[in-house]
Amino acid sequence: MNPATLARVQFAFTVSFHIIFPTMSIGLAMFLAVIEGLWLETRDALYLEIYRFWLSIFAMGFGVGVVTGIVLSFEFGLGFAKFAQLAGPAIGPLIALEVLTSFFLEAGFLGIMLFGMHRVGPKLHFFATCMVALGTLLSASWILSANSWMQTPDGVAVRNGRLIVVNWWHVLNNPSWLVRLPHMLSAAYLTASFLVAGVGAWYLLCGKHLAFAKKSVALGTAFASVLIAGQVFIGDILYSTMLKHQPSKMQAAEGFWEKESASPAPYYWVILPDQKEQRNRFALGIPYLGSIWLTHSLHGRVEGLKNTPGDAQPIMGMVFYGFRIMYGIAILMFAVATSSLWLRWKRRLFTTKWFLRFLVAMTPSGIIATLGGWYVAETGRQPWVIFGLLRTIDAVSPVPAKTLLATLIAFVCIYAFFMAAFLFFVAHIIRRGPVLALPQAEASGSLKNAFRPHVLDSANANAAVGR
């Protein structure tokens, strides 16, 4: 019943639930833009069929993401009032700019994207889809800028207990933003790729909607192969960046306690850390791999968490296993991508049962990996809410523990209903399968016709009177 603990658990739960849906929305919005572009280029009705199928799932995910995102803004002020008071001059404008740019852009074109297929021309509809995809990208950019500033604050000064912005460009373009943003976007696009490929693989195993399924598997695995290759390099750059600015996070992620590990260093996969005793009660790893992977040498040593004072250390277990979940799934994604390239070359991509079953199992992998990475980022920053400037314990609002517990229970119940409803409708859409698309463009109008004056010429008017 510690208020600070309950406030942190409540925010962790709500943000973990929320991040699932923006991750899907960002990835699916870009996927839909690519698919509609392919349809406009080829006029292949199969692309339109894929577009219509995933548009429904995107719309539901987008709606849940917007609703659950609003809750987080209130929690800043209600649960962490001192954080809002101190960080408001830097965080507030970034969140406001997200609303003014991405939300307005999405709101302006989402209606056309969802309901305008029969009402506007195909090019205008494609433009609307691209604008929604751009809106999701801008939203991710502003939010990652704000969160990265909390990880690596820059451009501010604390004077008389108040935070003053001295350089807005440094606030926006803080030391970790330009690396964390592509890492997050790649994660979202990988999430969409495996969702698409997994559903297609399930249809192939069931022997249904074969043309749709083959195209989905082909596209999903192709996108995933390119994205996971880029994500490996981006992740390595991000690791080096955070090792420079937040060494304690990466020390906890690797599971070493001593100021310098043994040489050569193993790479741990399983540990049983004892935070109080500053040691691992049990550790299982691969010899030499820690030195090779982390120091790029055969006998390199790895720095441990004892290099950070005890009162500034994150909880090693949470950071370590969050990182292993993200990293382990990335290895599986790389294996899927490599296997897909081999099977594509052998012309067995759509007939290899074990691969299709593996794809189905990997359908939610992007979401799970994103949650693991998010936990690394947020738990690895502790005990700071603004790294080096404000501790989490000092940011919590003076709210009674019973109130926090009651609202936490309410959130769990409401969000469980949201998730159940979302999964029910997604399962219904998948069981129903894709609706056959028309072989020609569905749109019956164009932007030019939308702005043309509704005035009948005299000949048409006379003809109408005659009839």
Cβ 108 vs Cβ 138: under 8 Å: no
Cβ 372 vs Cβ 318: under 8 Å: no
Q: The domain containing residue 231 runs over which residues?
A: 3-255+304-458
- Considering the domain boundaries, does residue 428 fall inside one? yes
Q: Which two tokens stand for residue 457?
A: 């010429």
The DSSP annotation for 311-325 comes to GG---HHHHHHHHHH
The arithmetic mean of pLDDT across residues 354-377, rounded, is 93
CA distance 213 to 249: 42
- Considering the domain boundaries, does residue 463 fall inside one? no
Question: What mean pLDDT, rounded, does the chain reach?
Answer: 87
Distance, first Cα to last Cα, the chain: 80
- Considering the domain boundaries, does residue 411 fall inside one? yes
pLDDT digits 0-9 by tens, 193-203? 999 999 999 99
Contacts of 161 (CB under 8 A, 6+ apart): none
Q: Which two tokens stand for residue 121?
A: 């021309």
Residue that wins the pLDDT comparison between 300 and 425: 425
CA distance 54 to 35: 10
- Considering the domain boundaries, does residue 267 fall inside one? no
pLDDT digits 0-9 by tens, 264-322? 888 889 989 999 889 989 989 888 888 888 888 888 888 888 888 888 889 999 999 99
pLDDT digits 0-9 by tens, 121-155? 888 999 999 999 999 999 999 999 999 999 999 98
The arithmetic mean of pLDDT across residues 415-430, rounded, is 92
How many CB atoms lie under 10 A from the CB of residue 363?
A: 19
CA distance 224 to 358: 14
Burial class, 454, CB count within 10 angstroms (exposed 0-12 / middle 13-18 / buried 19+): exposed
Residue with tokens 């292949």: 44
CA distance 53 to 32: 10
CA distance 47 to 372: 33
Query: What pLDDT sits at residue 449?
Result: 52
Among 250, 249, 333, which Cα is nearest to 295's?
250
Query: What pLDDT sits at residue 117?
Result: 81
Tell me the three state secondary structure of residue 285.
strand
Q: At what angle do helices 401-432 and 45-79 cross, to 10 degrees?
A: 180
- Considering the domain boundaries, does residue 284 fall inside one? no
Q: What values do phi and psi take at 174, rounded to 5?
A: -75, 170
CA distance 456 to 304: 80
CA distance 145 to 322: 22
CA distances from 127 to 34, 122, 134 (A): 11, 9, 10
Q: Is the pLDDT of residue 74 over 90?
A: no
The arithmetic mean of pLDDT across residues 339-359, rounded, is 93
Contacts of 353 (CB under 8 A, 6+ apart): 205
Question: Could you give the residue ranges of the DSSP H alpha helices within 99-121?
Answer: 104-115
CA dihedral sign of residues 84, 85, 91, 97? positive
If one counts the domains in the chain, the total is 1
CA distances from 111 to 61, 66, 128, 435 (A): 15, 15, 9, 21
Among 10, 16, 28, which Cα is nearest to 373's?
16
- Considering the domain boundaries, does residue 275 fall inside one? no
Query: What pLDDT sits at residue 206?
Result: 92
Query: What pLDDT sits at residue 356?
Result: 94
- Considering the domain boundaries, does residue 379 fall inside one? yes
CA distance 6 to 392: 12
- Considering the domain boundaries, does residue 278 fall inside one? no
Q: Is the pLDDT of residue 58 over 70?
A: yes
Query: What pLDDT sits at residue 448?
Result: 53
CA distance 273 to 286: 17
